[in-house]
Chain A
Amino acid sequence: MTLLAAKVFAARAVGGIARRTGRRGGTNLPGRLLIALEPDAIEELAARLPRGSVVISATNGKTTTAAMSAAVLARAGITPLRNRAGANMAGGVASTLLSASRGARIDGELGLFELDELWLDRVAPALAPRALLLLNLFRDQLDRAGELETIAERWAAVVQALPETTRLIVNADDPLLADLGRDAPNVTYFGVEDRSIAVPEMQHASDSKHCRRCGTEYAYEAIYLGHLGRYRCPACGHERPKPSVAAEEITLHGTRDASFALRAPVGATPIQLPLPGLYNVYNALGAAALCLALDAPLQTIAAGLAASRPPFGRAERLALGGVDVTILLIKNPAGANEILRTLVLEAAPLNLLAILNDHTADGKDISWIWDADFEMIAGSVRRVTCAGARAAELALRLKYARVPVDRLHVAGSVSAALEDALAAVPRGELFVLPTYTALLELRDELASRGHVPRFWERQR
């Protein structure tokens, strides 16, 4: 047994114990232990993947985009090795590589890793990715992540250090990211080319409104989502690069699905996406651009995207008694706004269960709920149950968004809140909007009712 193999064995044993005792930390713990034993473990294990690795990072959409890419790659005959949703720091990546190691070999051909935006610079170099997909940067968890521009500077350093052989795939509609690609030798841009879905004005919490080069406010011809759109700097002329992979003729169907025409240098094809909202069109575009860079055929991409399933809590649907439940993770203003935008498209009055926690993984600073535009749904709400550690402030936010107070209910635990919300929906639909740790609690609650498997058993 080599030295690395011995360390892999030891770290894996710890993971087994953690998992059997039902601890959540079982996801990251073995990887963190492995890194402690062998600081170069990620580099050494990732080098064994015969087709190398690709990396996805963003504020919003990492997990969904990775799931979409996996669905395409599987159809292209490539077995991806993925880290699990949320296990996207060094420990999670190392754990994934660890659990796939079989002696000197590794299960899976291509590493498909989502990385936390703050961990990109620490983990991506070790993975030596063939392609790096950057989807978006939004205001998120300021208490943990700090200012957006600080993250952008760190990403810029990652991009500058990329070898020419790494394909950089960047969202042309995000000015902050598009600028990172400006001097990169090997870059693909993707973006939306459909002005009919533009919104009339920039949402309140938008960031990156000023040119990264000269500080002048961008002029927008069209705004699609947050600060994503068609922009140009009136002072220095820096403008949105023309995307070579684009979504045209976009149609959004409420909280259900979306369709668009995918145009790429190799041709065009219609895409039926079983996931809702413009934000998922962006995720699908990113996944398509990534898979094109891996030489997947256009028809395989269309088939894979059409077959992709929502991951863990991202527009996931299930039936609970007579009620159709849709779970829509919310975690920052830009993401929440897109969820609210899809909810507005629903015809019937909305029954909601909204759960706001303030644990570390949610962000301890809950001020972001005041940046999200809950005003959008104020006229559409039939009843909202608010739960979680900061249930009252969430209800207060809705009150000041002018949801009538008699439609707001504050429940205690997630269990009680789910009971309350279901009891109040005679038939039809309930939309659940949890923050990240609330989603984990909800999962456990649903699992205890026998509805869904515990999430760490769902994927490998």
Chain B
Amino acid sequence: MAEGMPTLRVCALYPDLMNIYADRGNLLVLESRCEWRGIGFELHASSLGDELDPEGADLYYIGGGQDRDQRLCALDLAEVKRDALHAVAGRGGTILAVCGGYQLLGHSYRLGDETLPGIELVDLVTVRGNGERLIGNAAIELELEPGELRVLAGFENHGGRTHLGPGTKALGRVLAGHGNNGTDGLEGVREGSVVGTYLHGPLLPKNTWFADWLIATALGLPDPLPALNDDLERAAHAEARRASGV
């Protein structure tokens, strides 16, 4: 770590359970891109039963898991970590939730007779549809800064259909794939620095510009961060877009 440079402190929620779509890749990209810029990096985990310190990290990450594991995490989030995550959002901390983790940011996730509690950080509900899972390559267009349109490419695989409440902003607009529910053309959610998305694949290796935005946002650094040699990163992004047909 270079002199005077900050350290990105990342807290991974339930990395032993919510890791099904190679969520490790997202963390690895954050770590490497910090290191290559001389930014420090610290990773710690918070799992079932662990109290969560709302000041303990700059970026909180939660990935996707199998149904049973997601159920365990939903209950733990609601009982143990809910208040801390509200405190994180309240102080403008950064949260990235992918797939199963994204579903738990809202009010609830209804699966047939059972309803998993959400932590109600954003106004959305998720319902397991009777139809097919929504699976495939996907791309969305988003506007993080006014007038600046960028593309995220990835892969989605979810049984739940997520519907945003009125006034809640999606992360982006679906260019290819299904998005939140396969009908309204919206994907993910974003409220300030709280981001939820169904895009995995994993997300950040395919979209390193977005990883950099998360790092800058979490640390309060000017975006964009100093450039790296991203030839392979750009080529992988282009491949992922091509796979989705965009």
Residues of B within 8 A of A139 (CB): 20
Nearest chain A residue, comparing its CB with the CB of B159: A146
**Known: A147-B66, A149-B66. Is A393-B240 also a contact (CB below 8 A)?**
yes
The total of chain B residues at the interface (CB under 8 A) is: 35
Check A400/B201 contact, CB under 8 A, given A139-B20, A367-B155, A410-B235: no
Q: Once the chains are docked, how many angstroms separate the CA of A393 from the CA of B234?
A: 10
Give the chain B neighbours of A209 by CB distance below 8 A: 16
- Chain B 181-217, CB-CB to A under 8 Å as 1, else 0, gives 0000000000000000000111001100000000000
Instruction: State the CA gap A215–B205 with chains docked (Å).
Output: 32
CA A149 to CA B69, docked complex, whole Å: 11
* 8 Å CB contact of A396 from B20, B24, B229, B232: B232
Interchain CA distance A186-B20 in the complex, whole Å: 34
A365-B66 in contact (CB<8A) = no
Evaluate whether A149 and B67 lie within 8 angstroms (CB atoms) in the complex, with A143-B135, A392-B232, A399-B232 already known.
yes
Chain B residues in 8 Å Cβ range of A204: 19, 24
B 55-103 contacts with A by CB, 8 A: 66-69, 72
A392 in contact with B239 (CB, 8 Å): yes
- Judged by a CB distance under 8 angstroms, whether B157 is at the interface is yes
Q: Does B34 contact A (CB under 8 A)?
A: no
Bound form: Cα–Cα A365–B22 in Å: 10
User: Scoring B residues 203 to 246 as 1 if CB is less than 8 Å from chain A, else 0, what string do you get?
Assistant: 00110000000000000000000000100110110111001000
Bound-complex Cα distance A181 to B180 (A): 40
| Contact A148-B239, Cβ < 8 Å, known A367-B21, A400-B28, A400-B32 | no
Q: Main SS of the interface on chain B?
A: helix
* Interface footprint category on A: 20 to 34
For B136, the chain A residues whose CB sits under 8 A away are 143, 364
Is A446 positioned at the interface, with any CB of B under 8 Å from its CB? Answer: no
Could you tell me if A142 and B157 are in contact, using CB atoms closer than 8 angstroms?
yes
In the complex, the chain B residue whose C-beta lies closest to that of A369 is B22
Whether B68 pairs with A367 at a CB distance below 8 angstroms is no
- Option from A365, A392, A396 in Cβ contact (under 8 Å) with B155: A365
Pick the contact of B21: A142, A146, A399 (CB < 8 A).
Answer: A142
- Chain A residues lying within 8 Å of B38, measured Cβ to Cβ, are none
B68 contacts across to A, CB distance below 8 A? 149, 210, 215
Of B66, B67, B200, B206, which one neighbours A393 at CB under 8 angstroms? B206
The B163-179 residues at the A interface (CB cut-off 8 A) are: none
Asked if B16 and A370 sit within 8 Å, CB to CB, the answer is no
Alpha-carbon gap, A393 to B155, bound state (A): 13
Q: List residues of A (367-386) whose CB comes within 8 Å of B's CBs.
A: 367-371
Residues of B within 8 A of A215 (CB): 68, 72
Q: A142-B20, A393-B206, A399-B232 are in contact. Are A367 and B200 (CB under 8 A)?
A: yes
Cα distance, A214 to B233, chains bound together (Å): 43
Q: Does B137 contact A (CB under 8 A)?
A: yes
Residues of A within 8 A of B133 (CB): 146
A209–B29 Cα gap in the complex (Å)? 26
B24, A371: Cβ atoms closer than 8 Å: yes
* Contacting residues, chain B, for A400 (C-beta < 8 A): 25, 28-29, 32, 205
Residues of the B chain whose Cβ atoms lie less than 8 Å from the Cβ of A148: 66
A48-82: which have CB < 8 Å to B?
none
Report, nearest first, the 6 A-B pairs whose CB atoms are least far apart: A370-B25, A392-B235, A370-B22, A367-B22, A393-B236, A392-B236
9 contacts between A and B (CB under 8 A): A142-B20, A205-B19, A364-B155, A389-B239, A390-B239, A393-B240, A397-B205, A400-B25, A405-B232
10 A-B pairs besides A147-B66, A393-B239, A399-B232 with CB distance below 8 A are A146-B133, A149-B66, A149-B68, A358-B243, A365-B201, A367-B25, A395-B232, A395-B236, A400-B28, A400-B29
Interface residue ranges, B against A (CB under 8 Å):
16, 19-22, 24-25, 28-29, 32, 66-69, 72, 133, 135-137, 155, 157, 200-202, 205-206, 229, 232-233, 235-236, 238-240, 243
